[in-house]
Amino acid sequence: MKRIIRIILEIVKINFFALFKIKTNSLSVKEFPLDIYGKSAFFNHPFYKKGGASYFAQIYGSNNSSDFVVAKRSHLKFVSEIVRGSYVNCVHKLHIKEGELLPVSIPNKNTDASTASIRINSNGKDYELKKLKQNSFHFIPFTKESNVEVSSNRKIIVGDPIRFINSSSNKPNKKLVMSIFIDGLSSEIFKNEKIEKLMPNVAKYFSEGSMFFNVISSGNWTLPGVGSLFSGLYPIKHGMNHPRKELEIGKDYKIISEYFKESGYTTAQICSNFRKSPGYGYMKGFDRTLYKNGMNCKESIFNTIEHLRSFSKTSNYVWLTLFDLHDFLDGVPDLSVQTDLSIDLHNYGVDSSKSVFHSYDSNRIDRYLSELKRIDFYLKFLFDYISNNYQDEEIVLSICSDHGQSYLTDEEEILSRGRVVVPMFFKSEEAPFLTNNELVSNVDYLPSILNLSKINFEHDSIDGELPTIFGGKNGREYAISESIYPDQPYKAVIHKHNEFFYVNSTNNISNIDNIDIEKLELKLEKCLISDDGSIQYTKPDKDDLSKCIDMLIKR
């Protein structure tokens, strides 16, 4: 009875607020496909519109979805498939180029039953497609250039055509470029255990590539960290900082998906991270997005392979998010992880603090290692598929991360090395075979992958720099990580080659959208890194603070 009452109260609250278009504190940007007003993107067409772009979300790979939904939160359990397109009345005419797919969906708020039909006329030939499942995209292939008319007895979604066969006029430099984003992957974990032991499949695949282990993330949590990977900008510039505000990636700057889309690639992402949800605009620039909060690595990887099989005759850019290291996605670890853990490691304790504030925890570390090995196990399927279907000169494959984990070290500093030092790997014909300890920032990820893909970009429009092994001139003098969080002190760490500086404000940040470094009351700690990797605190020099302030202002 308590459960029934709770569900009914939530239904009434969310639907009441949605009816009068009032924000509810029960929902946030993280709850996509629901928005902050309680509307579902599955039945709100389009759910996002800006300029000439309209984006539509439909249900992917699930039968009878809306028929059995009781509460709107049930929509969070479905995979969203998102394409750019138009919501049209009954008849839609368009021209389709050779080798393109046409996404079509028949929305119905009442049922998903396979009872819909549409007519397609292609160059004068009629096709009637019957018993189509509603509220899901159907991808109609056209191998020849066609003048097409799509018709139905009601409004339908017609997506923008997506290239699935390269044409003579559309041949990007690479056949496949892929970003594998592993949330929460820390370099600290590889200090005590070699990567060959923890992630043997990753180590083997990238042994013929460039492996960086001294990459400084621009932030200590996902929202700012992944924003920098997408934009090549520091968080203060890309604006993805506030945990509760409605933010938009790529609002007035170009993001990674748009670079590849403009260069002729078919672009797709498979994403499971609520801080990278379409609610933040992360579907922009992608021809196709699959999103579900908490999609596990097995499902994410095989959805990626399915996409690559479907688009094997075109050039692809794919962003794949693996979220499993962040937390147990289904409430309990995967069976293979559970069987790998001793009895005492099944005690998950009671720690309600944010992951940023977790202290050193050996039990968490052991569970983290098991999850890491599981991710590596499933990545082998992806690596094998790519190795069997692509030549080395056709690919640029990479692994990147947004932050580490605070519980990996006993450092109390919120910007500890365990939290902000992450790995970055590249495999490409243009990437030298080496393990590199060069100082790198995660804002350098965007220029690096564009450079390896032979895509031109304006260096002055981003903060990122090319590492020296990719043609950078002098290498980084320093890299910056910041903690920009509302109603908390401003914190930054400036990493140099054998030393780093912790900068802390004595007052809280009131407006994180407009931080004036020169007006903050700052204090400084200086640390030296010994040859054995240990950290020693030392007294700052007289002019160290002014130098650090100057670096923060210039970033």
Q: Which residue has the higher pLDDT, 55 or 513?
A: 55
Look at residue 354 in the predicted model and tell me its pLDDT: 55
Report the DSSP beta bridge partners of residue 537.
Answer: 527
Report the phi/psi class of residue 394: left, alpha or beta, with left for phi > 0 and alpha for psi in -120 to 50. Answer: alpha
Q: In Å, what is the CA distance from 131 to each residue of 114, 118, 538?
A: 5, 9, 73
The one-letter code for the residue type at 549 is I
**Cα 16 to Cα 22: distance, rounded to the nearest angstrom:** 8
Residue 280 has pLDDT above 90, yes or no: yes
Give the residue-averaged pLDDT of 92-99: 94
**Over 208-228, what HEC string results?**
HCEEEEEEECCECCHHHHHHH
Comparing 47-51, 97-101, 208-212, 305-309, the range with the smallest average pLDDT is: 47-51
Q: Would you state the structure tokens that stand for residue 161, as one six-digit string?
A: 């055509």
Kindly list the strands in the beta sheet with 479-483, ordered across the sheet, starting from the edge strand earlier in the chain.
479-483, 489-495, 499-508, 522-529, 535-538
pLDDT tens sequence across 336-387: 888 887 887 777 765 555 555 567 778 888 889 999 999 999 999 999 999 9
**293-299-302 Cα angle (round to 5):** 135
Average pLDDT over residues 204-211: 96
pLDDT at 327: 65
Supply the mean pLDDT for the chain. 90
| Residue 64: band (very low, low, confident or very high) from pLDDT cuts 50, 70, 90 | low
Number of alpha helices (DSSP H) and beta strands (DSSP E) in the chain: 13, 25
Distance CA 116, CA 107 (A): 9
CA distances from 460 to 45, 228, 250, 449, 464 (A): 37, 15, 16, 17, 9
The DSSP-derived string for 116-131 is EEEEEEETTEEEEEEE
